[in-house]
Amino acid sequence: SRWTCSPGRIIQKSCACCPDHKDIEGGMATANLIVICGPQAVGKMTVAESLRDKLKYNMMMNHDSIEVSDRIFGFATPAQREFNMFFREKAFELAVKHDVDLIFTYVCAFDSPQEREYLTRLADLFTSNQGGFYFVELSASLETRLERKENPSIQPPGLYGRISMFCWAG
């Protein structure tokens, strides 16, 4: 089955490699996590809000935990980084415990082993509890992203170079 993210952009809801994952529009009572990743100004929040409205998932943006931890501990301090990670981990643990489907927006440094380990741990948390872990990668040219940064009202769906959604394979 398929659904439309924006006109002309179709992405699969699930993949053949993961037939046991529940359909992300309903099914078994287990929590799913959709991670929407991409560089700054690519449209992560716009896509996340669209998915949230369609799927009736809850949403946590990357900045939610950062802003709280910054206000309490100051920017980029050891305490801020520790609390930021604690905030996120606890939110994900509670989502799994209480069967809450989430969408999480995130800027990922794919060249960092720690980032890959973090995403693998998230995937393990949800899939080990019979939930699904889905990864959406957004991309756009630097020119498009700079234009969006200057004029945030530009809606990204018609500007994407690529939208990919797949089950995480570590």
Beta bridge partners of 102: 33, 58
Plot region of 165 (φ>0 → left; ψ -120 to 50 → alpha; else → beta): beta
Instruction: Please give the pLDDT value at position 72.
Output: 97
Distance CA 170, CA 162 (A): 21
pLDDT tens track for 81-137: 999 999 999 999 999 999 999 999 999 888 889 988 999 999 999 999 999 999 888
Please report where in the chains the tokens 């179709």 appear, as a residue: 10
State residue 74 phi and psi, 5-degree precision: 85, 155
Beta bridge partners of 165: 136
Grade residue 156 by pLDDT with cuts at 50, 70 and 90.
low
User: Which residue in 48, 46, 87, 41 sits closest to 68, CA to CA?
Assistant: 87
* End-to-end CA, the chain: 24
Whole-number average pLDDT of the chain: 78
pLDDT tens track for 33-57: 999 998 888 889 988 998 999 999 9
Distance CA 8, CA 157 (A): 9
Distance CA 165, CA 13 (A): 8
Q: Is 65 helix (H, G, I), strand (E, B) or coil?
A: helix
C-alpha count within 13 angstroms, C-beta hemisphere, residue 1: 8
Please report, as a single letter, which amino acid is at residue 120.
T
Q: How many CB atoms lie within 10 A of CB 46?
A: 19
User: Which residue in 83, 136, 79 sits closest to 91, CA to CA?
Assistant: 83
Residue 166 token pair = 């797949």
pTM over 0.85: no
